[in-house]
Structure 1
Amino acid sequence: MPRRGSDAAQPARPRRRLRRRLRIGLTPLIDVVFILLVFFMLASSFEDWRSLPLAAAPAMAGAPAPAMAGAMLVEVAPAGLRLAGAPVSGAALRRRLAERLAAVPEQRVLLRALPGAEMQRLVAAVDLLRAAGVRDLALAPAGGAR
């Protein structure tokens, strides 16, 4: 459709859009970060919800202490578990501990991590010993490999 009047005589020129620079405000961003911070602080628990009840065994320099006499020694090695120096599987350890605890309910068990053993293996051994019914568990000082 042709244009009428003075607009028809002038060639159409492209309209210039005035671009307004958008300013990003930091206030909403700071508000969101603050709300998230408060949320996570309130949702977090700062108490130690799961601790490992372990007694530290006395240092075994020379002769064993009288309280350690008759204690079973479980070692956590990089390759697996040992009971009294002999390699043992987790199921066999649990079975032998259950047999021993049936005879002596207050059996003391010493747990020792050998050099190179991972902390996760040590924690898994504590869980295994607790599941077997061990009530008197002590963490022995780290020793060398046998």
Structure 2
Amino acid sequence: MSLIRQAGPVRRITLVPLIDVLFILLVYFMVTSVYRDLDMIPMVRGSDPGAGGVDGGGGAVTSLLLRIDATGQVVSRGQVLSRDALAAALAQPGQRVLILPTGAAPLWALTEVMDAVAAAGVQDARLVRLEAAG
């Protein structure tokens, strides 16, 4: 004797609860995230051991100060640097690079300068922030 089972309805997996959970997580992370927090990048302080002008081997370290103005231009020693001039200035080995964005400097310009510094292989690069005394 053979028993024949009736085929029941095919159950489908719905994605509606998963989409709801993902939407709630998306809203949560958007609300709790910080979009521009430059305090997480290490900066030069006067009390830092490496803030002086001598490297670990006792030799003098040259510093290159790159200032980013409100229009996104990179200025060094009073001269506006193009991308090629910036790459040439960063090509000198063994120098410390200090990046000083103005308060109104666009974030994309800071990102481009930091990418150029990383691409040049600079080992000692620091972001400098000026604070009012008081």
TM-score, length of structure 2 as denominator length: 0.56
Contact 2:73 2:80 in 1 (8 A): yes
Contact 2:67 2:102 in 1 (8 A): yes
1:72 equivalent to 2:58? Answer no
Deviation at 1:40, TM superposition (A): 7.1
Q: Secondary structure at the match of 1:55?
A: coil
Q: Secondary structure at the match of 2:119?
A: helix
Structure 1: distance between partners of 2:112 and 2:123: 16
What are the superposed Cα offsets for residues 15-34 of structure 1, whole Å, 9 maximum, x if unpaired? xxxxxxxxxxxxxxxx6442
* Alignment-derived partner of residue 6 in structure 2: none
Superposed, which structure 2 residues align to 1:17-96 within 5 Å?
Answer: 32-38=15-21, 54-58=41-45, 66-67=52-53, 70-77=62-69, 78-96=71-89
Superposed, which structure 2 residues align to 1:93-112 within 5 Å?
Answer: 93-98=86-91, 100-101=92-93, 104=94, 107-112=95-100
Structure 2: distance between partners of 1:91 and 1:41: 46
What are the superposed Cα offsets for residues 83-121 of structure 1, whole Å, 9 maximum, x if unpaired? 2332111111111211x12xx3xx211011013210111
TM-score, length of structure 1 as denominator length: 0.52
Q: Secondary structure at the match of 1:111?
A: strand
Structure 2 stretches of 5 or more lacking a match?
1-13, 30-37, 55-60
- 55 and 37 in structure 1: CA distance in 2 versus 1, 3 angstrom threshold: same
Structure 2: distance between partners of 1:108 and 1:121: 19
* Alignment-derived partner of residue 101 in structure 2: 113
Structure with the greater alpha carbon radius of gyration? 1
Structure 2: distance between partners of 1:83 and 1:95: 12
Contact 2:72 2:106 in 1 (8 A): no
